[in-house]
Amino acid sequence: PKITFVQPDDSRQTIEVNDGATVMLSAVSNDIRGIVAECGGSAMCATCHVYVDPEYVTRIPPVSEVENEMLASAASERRENSRLSCQLVMGNGVEELVVRIPPRQV
Q: Which residues bind ligand FES (CB under 6 A)?
A: 24, 37-39, 41, 43-48, 70, 84, 86
| Closer by beta carbon to ligand FES, 28 or else 98 | 28
Residue from 85, 90, 93 nearest 43 by CA? 85
Which residues face 14 on adjacent strands?
Answer: 4
SS3 54: helix
Residue nearest to ligand FES (CB): 86
SS3 65: helix
Task: Quickly count: other Cβ atoms within 10 Å of residue 97's Cβ.
Answer: 24
Q: How far is the CB of 22 from ligand FES (least distance, A)?
A: 8
| Closer by beta carbon to ligand FES, 43 or else 97 | 43
Q: How far is the CB of 84 from ligand FES (least distance, A)?
A: 4
